A = this chain, B = another copy of it.
Amino acid sequence: MGAVNLKQIAQRAGVSLATASRVLSGSDYPVKDDLRERVLEVAAQLDYVPNASARVLLRGRSSIVGVLVGDVSDPFFSGMIGGIYEVADDADYMVNVVNTFREPGKELDTLRRLREQRVDILIVAGSGLDDAAFTAGMEKSLAAFVQGGNAAVLIGHHGISDDVHAARVHFDNREAAREVAEHLRELGHQRIALITGDPRLLSTRDRVLGFRDVFGDRVIPVETEPTRDGGYEAAGTILSTRPEVTAIASTADQMAFGTLVYLRERGILVPNEMSVTGFNDIDVAKDFVPSLTSAHVPLREMGRRAMELGLQGLEGDVDDIEVMPELAIRASTGPARK
C-alpha cells in the first residue's frame, strides 16, 4: 500500500536520500555514474513517480492552473477550456477544471477548493452574478489569492471591483447583443422575443440590455433552461402566447437550435415566417439548417489569452485585454414577415 517513495528507492539502490533525489529530480548536481545508474534502474523497476504534494510544499508553486466554469460539457465553456489547454500545455501547466454546475452558490465553494490545491493561476470563466454577498465573497477570496503571490484572470466577469488585482479578458456582451438587435431592426422586425437563461447572470443581463438598447419594451423576454430543450420549449410558449413576434433571439446558440427544431417541426419557415438568432457562435452554428445568425464570441481565443494573462500575472504584470464581438449573419434571419 502507498506509492513508492524516494526513501525506498534510496535504500534499494544503497545510496542516501539526497543522492537519489539528485538523480531523480533532474538536478545538475554531480553524481557518479555508477550510483546514478543504480538509482535510475531501481526507479524504473519500481516505476517510481515523485510525489507532487511534497514538491509543492517545498517549492510553494504547483504549476497548476485552476479553471472555474459553469459546465465543462457546454460547448461555450469547452471551447474556452480548449484554448486554455493549448497555452497551458506549452507552459507545462496542468489544468484543473471545476464545475459549478451553474449553481452560483457553489462558485465560492469550488473557488476555495481550487485555492486549497494551491493553484498558481486561477481563471474564473463562470459569469458574474447579481448578488452582493456573492460578489463580496468572490472579491475577498480573489484578493487573498492574489495577495498570496498568485495570478487571477477574470473572463468577462465584471461586477468584481478593480481593487482586486486580477487580469481580465473583456467581452462586451451588451455591444454584441446590440449588433444582433440592430441587424434584426434593419430587417424590419418590430416585435421580438428573447429567450434567456438565468437572468441573475451578468452576461445574460448585459445581453438583454443590448437588445433593449435597440428594441426597448418591444422585446419580450422568456426565461428557460439554457439548453436545446429549453429553447425548444420556449419557442412553443412564444408561438402560442405571442403571435405578433416576428423574430426569436436567444442568449445562447443551444437555445436557438431548440427553437429552430421546434419551428421546423411545425413547418414554420425560417427566415420567411420567423427569424432566429443565437449567441456565441459555437462550431455547429454555421452548419445547422438553416445556418444560424449569431454573435460570434471567440471562445478559443479567449481561453488562450486568459492563460497567457495568467502566466504574465505570475511575473507581476496584470493586464486587461478586450476581444471583439463580430456579428455572423447567416440564413436564419431575413426580412420581417408582413
Interface residues of A, Cβ cutoff 8 Å to B: 1-4, 46-47, 49-54, 56-57, 60, 62, 71-73, 75, 78-79, 81-82, 85, 89, 94-99, 101, 112-113, 115-118, 140-141, 143-145, 148-149, 228, 257, 260-261, 264, 283-284, 287-289
Closest to A290 in B: B289
Evaluate contact between B116 and A50: CB separation under 8 angstroms: yes
Cβ contacts under 8 Å, A99 to chain B:
85, 89, 95
A257 touches which of B1, B52, B148, B287 (Cβ 8 Å): B287
Given the interface contacts A1-B148, A51-B118, A116-B50, does A81 sit within 8 Å of B73 by beta carbon? yes
Closest to A1 in B: B149
Q: So how many copies of this chain end up in the complex?
A: 2
Evaluate contact between B228 and A283: CB separation under 8 angstroms: yes
A2 touches which of B78, B149, B257 (Cβ 8 Å): B149
For the complex, give the distance between the alpha carbons of A71 and B72 in Å: 12
Evaluate contact between B89 and A82: CB separation under 8 angstroms: no
For the complex, give the distance between the alpha carbons of A117 and B63 in Å: 11
For the complex, give the distance between the alpha carbons of A96 and B95 in Å: 7
A4–chain B nearest beta-carbon distance, Å: 7
Evaluate contact between A95 and B98: CB separation under 8 angstroms: yes
Closest to A5 in B: B148
Residue from A47, A71, A95, A289 having most chain B Cβ neighbours under 10 A: A47
Cβ contacts under 8 Å, A284 to chain B:
257, 284, 288
Given the interface contacts A73-B82, A89-B101, does A148 sit within 8 Å of B4 by beta carbon? yes
For the complex, give the distance between the alpha carbons of A46 and B140 in Å: 9
